[in-house]
Amino acid sequence: MAVGYLVNLGTDNSAWTSDTIATTTTTFTPAVSGPNPTATIGAGTWTFTGTLADGTVVTNQIMGGIFQTDSSGRLYFVPDNAVSSVTSATVDTSPIYTGPPAITGGTGADSLAGTNNPNLINGGAGNDTITGANAATTNVVAGGVNDRDVLIGGDGNDSIHGQGGSDRLVGGAGNDFLNGGAGADIADYSGASVAINATAGGTSTVVAGNQGTDTLSGIDGFIGSAFNDTLTGFDGDGTDPDGSRFYNYIDGGGGNDLIDGKTGSDYLFGGDGNDTVIGGIFDGTGSTDDQVFGGAGNDLLYGDDTLGTASAGGADLIDGGTGHDTILAGGGNDTVFGGDGDDRINGNAGDDLIHGNTGADRISGDAGNDTIFGGIGADTIYGGNGGDTIDGGADNDLIYGYGDFTGTGAGTDDGAADSLSGGLGNDTIFGGGGNDTLRGGDGDDSLSGDAGDDLIDGGAGADSMSGGLGADSMLGGAGIDSMSGGDGNDTMDGGDDADRMQGNAGNDFILGGTGNDTIFGGDGADTIDGGADNDLIYGYGDNVGGTDDGAADSLSGGLGNDTIFGGGGSDTLRGGDGDDSLSGDAGDDLIDGGTGADSMSGGQGNDTLLGGDGNDTMDGGVGADSLAGGAGQDSISGGDGNDTLDGGNDNDFLSGGIGNDSLLGGAGNDILLGGDGADTMEGGTGNDLLDGGAGADSQTGGEGFDTFIAGNGDTITDFNTATGQDFADGNQANNDFVDLGGHYNAANLATINAARRAAGLKEYATALGWMRGDQADGVLNDISTANGFAENFSMTIRSGAGATAPSDLTFDNTNVVCFSGETLIETAEGPVRADALKVGDRVRTRDAGLQPVRWIGRRHLDAEMLAANPNLRPIRIAAGSLGANTPSSDLVVSPQHRVLIRSKIAARMFGTTEVLVAAKQLLLLDGIDIAEDLIDVTYVHFLFDAHQIVYSNGAETESLHTGDEALKSVGAASRVEILALFPELQAGPARPLVAGRQARKLADRHQSNRRPLVM
């Protein structure tokens, strides 16, 4: 069985050029048709439009095959190359074929002649004379009809004359004389029992075994035997009687044949077997375009002469057919089909079109602008010189834009611009010199542009790409790609998936695309955009032997959580969207975090860092850096150098580090740390914390209730100037605050007073009074070695244009207490400062042991309030003025605060040894005076569930008693709070209360008798 395409023979029942061929296949049984010696009529060609099995699409392409018949005489074309689909097809070249014989001789010596139509004439037995139609008839001349007779001699020594037209002559058995006459005539030896050696043109002899020894004249072509024939064409072309050019037609048939078409344009068919077919030598006329078809077997096919020494050649059509063929197209613009099998093809000179078709082919375009399709199979393809276009097709191909390697190991490369495509499979492509285009297609491809400005497209798959020399453009496409730009200003786009990209030398432009990409800029001023997803970007080369020339790179992360390293040079880093990590490294860098919670490091150099939206972490590193946090709660560190920090909106953390820094908190409740150096700090709006650190710093809080941590040499510029400041209500949270308690306290008060006594100056009664006195000249500088201190401390507090008024420095805004806050109260934990007590603390009482504090209140009275209410001025009870070591240190209380008196005088006057007397009633006694030196005062009061006696600086005093006069000292708001908390609180005192004249009389008698108030 065979599969072929049915040929429409027409009404004359004969095969002609342009006869239509069916577009669908038919399965048939090859059979001898009538007197034809074999079912295979011979080789031929069809003009084919459609698709080959390897996917190659062709239009009006001439391709080879064989013509076969079935038992009914129907003719079929079986193509050498497998076909996927047929759009249209016609006969191009065919062996002469006519249906069943019109004329048949008998057993004697017959004389037979044909008509003017195609004739099949069989002489039968005997020595016959067979003559084809006379081409000189009116029909031939008028209609240009070219008879195609099939003349079969049969047994005997026949004389066969083709006359006019293109005829097929079969001598049969016997020693025959075959005279083709005019036209392209073919001698058919397909039935010979031995290999034949025949030469077309002129007169020759052919020894054909069972077909005898024939004499040939005017024969232009052959159909060979099934053996190893040697068939040679004639030089040049012939002419039909109607003036049409005809050519050598040689069909080797079976066997390993040697076929030489000589000069002229030949139709050469190797047929079955391992054939050697030579198209012939180019004669310089421009019309010697051979068509060479190898057929089945491992053929050696030449488009021109065997040695390939011709300087030029025709535009040959060469089809290897099935088998592992070797094809040398020769000079000229050739069209080559390798067919099935592992072929070796060389296009030689000229602009060739080469199809490897199916099989692992080795193809070389050689010189000229060639177009090469590898087809199915793992092909090796060399473009050679010229601007070549190569498509590897399916499977894993190896493609070179330049020439094949010579025996010395050197290739040829003229630097022309090639277009190289791998197609399907894992391909390897080398562009060579010139501005080449490389496309990997599907599969995991390796593409090297080499020299020139190349365009490299990896396509789908995990591709490896190298640009080489020149300004290359590279596109990764889908898949995890590896890309290296090489030298030159390259453009790279990673496409989809997680790619690894290296710009290498040159000013490169690199786009990572989607996927978690790793990108190295290499040397040169590179521009890199990571694109979507989480990218890792370096402005310099990779970590293995990488280089960094310090050029200024522009690096952008794009979408995703990116990590970017600038390297040397003044780089620009932009994080884009996402939580990015940006490191400028060396150079004066610009770093913009964009949106997201970014981490930024300037490294060395004078860098500019912009946080953008999100909660950013920023470190300027070494150099004079500028850092702006933007929106979000940012953490900003200037590092070494004279830096400028701007927190922007929200609650930011700013640390200047080493150097003379400028810090601006902006909006929000910011923390500003100056660090080492003379820093300038401004909190902006919000309740800020400013810590100057080492160095002479300038601190400006701005709007809000700011907290200053000031050191030696610092200046606060706007203390108490913001809106809503209240620094006299006992609340330290609603005003600016600087904690100076570590400098102005009881211990240091003793040191300054010692210095003042030595200088004959009045001593300060309290730490707060001392601080205010120190502020009188606008500078706090009493703490100095000249005054007996171990160090020199200087600080300036200003409220805008001038120094802060001394009276505006209070416990609320400095944490320096006037007196009451420093009073030590005995508790379960030992002595505790009154201003440190908290609700719930257990205080030791005289009568009830440890009792929890139920309420604590503070009231600050400034100079204006004391002037308006002199009855509220505090009373100072000097140490020991109540009795031996009672109090243990000066005790300052409000005028109505009662002190326990225990004496015989009290017993005689009131019938009890212990009474409570208001401090203001004891002013007659030595050591008890109004504290006139105090500019303002803060009273601390606390309540228990009942009126109690507590221990204050060792003296027994009362807790707050809710009498009318006592409640005046706590303020209106506190009175409302107390009455709300303790509606059940009884007015009954812990001891009898002695008031007014009686109290003063008691004090007078103690003073007159020089008796202590407390025994």
Q: What is the 3-state secondary structure (H, E, C) of 300-365?
A: EEECCCCCCCCCCCCCCEEECCCCCCEEECCCCCCEEECCCCCCEEECCCCCCEEECCCCCCEEEC
Q: Sort 960 into a burial class: Cβ within 10 Å, 0-12 / 13-18 / 19+.
A: buried
Class of 116-302 per CATH?
A: mainly beta
Cα 166 from Cα 162, distance rounded (Å): 8
CA 804 from chain center: how many Å?
58
Parallel/antiparallel/unpaired status of strands 291-293 and 581-583: unpaired
Please report the beta strands in 524-656, taking only residues with DSSP state E, as ranges in sequence order.
527-529, 536-538, 554-556, 563-565, 572-574, 581-583, 590-592, 599-601, 608-610, 617-619, 626-628, 635-637, 644-646, 653-655
The first and second tokens of residue 813, run together, are 């805004």
Structure tokens at 833: 């400062």
For residues 385 and 412, is the Cβ–Cβ distance under 8 A?
A: yes
pTM above 0.85, yes or no: no
Distance CA 873, CA 894 (A): 7
- Torsion angle, alpha carbons of 570, 575, 581, 587, to 10: 0
Q: Do 324 and 343 form a contact (C-beta atoms < 8 A)?
A: yes
Domain spans in the chain, listed from the N-terminal domain onward: 2-93, 116-302, 361-433, 746-814, 821-1008
Which residue reads 């596109």 in tokens?
475
Coil, strand or helix at 264: coil
Walking along the chain (1015 residues) 10 residues at a time, the average pLDDT comes out as 90 80 94 58 89 90 90 88 93 74 54 54 53 35 44 83 82 89 87 94 89 91 94 72 60 93 86 90 57 92 65 79 92 91 92 93 92 94 92 93 61 82 93 92 92 91 92 91 90 90 91 92 91 92 66 92 92 94 93 94 95 94 95 94 94 95 95 95 95 94 94 94 83 90 88 94 83 94 97 95 92 71 85 87 94 86 84 89 90 89 93 92 90 77 89 91 53 53 56 84 87 85
* End-to-end Cα spacing for the chain: 142
Q: Are 705 and 734 in contact (CB under 8 A)?
A: yes
Strand 796-799 with 824-827, pairing: unpaired
Cα separation, 168 vs 91, whole angstroms? 17
Contact 603, 583 (CB under 8 A): yes
- In angstroms, the Cα distances linking 501 to 100, 234, 485, 813 are 73, 62, 8, 60
Instruction: Quote the DSSP letter at residue 764.
Output: P
**pLDDT value at residue 338:** 93
At residue 262, what is the residue type? K
Smallest Cα–Cα separation from 458: which of 417, 488, 423, 498?
Answer: 423
Rounded Cα gap, residues 717 and 682, in angstroms: 9
Q: pLDDT value at position 363?
A: 94
Q: Which residues pair with 576 in a beta bridge?
A: none
In one-letter notation, the amino acid at residue 777 is: D
**CA nearest to 350, candidates 336, 364, 370:** 370
Determine the residue type at 339: G
Q: Specify the 3-state DSSP secondary structure of 1006.
A: helix
Cis peptide before 887 (omega within 30 of 0): yes
648, 626 contact by CB (below 8 A): no
What 664-668 contacts at long range (C-beta under 8 Å, 24+ apart), as own/partner pairs, is 665/702, 666/629, 668/633
What is the C-alpha separation between 944 and 272, in angstroms, rounded?
Answer: 123
Distance CA 168, CA 505 (A): 71
Q: State the CB neighbour count (10 A cutoff) for residue 880.
A: 16
Q: What pLDDT is stored for residue 38 in this prediction?
A: 58
**Domain 821-1008 sits in which CATH superfamily?**
Hedgehog/Intein (Hint) domain (2.170.16.10)
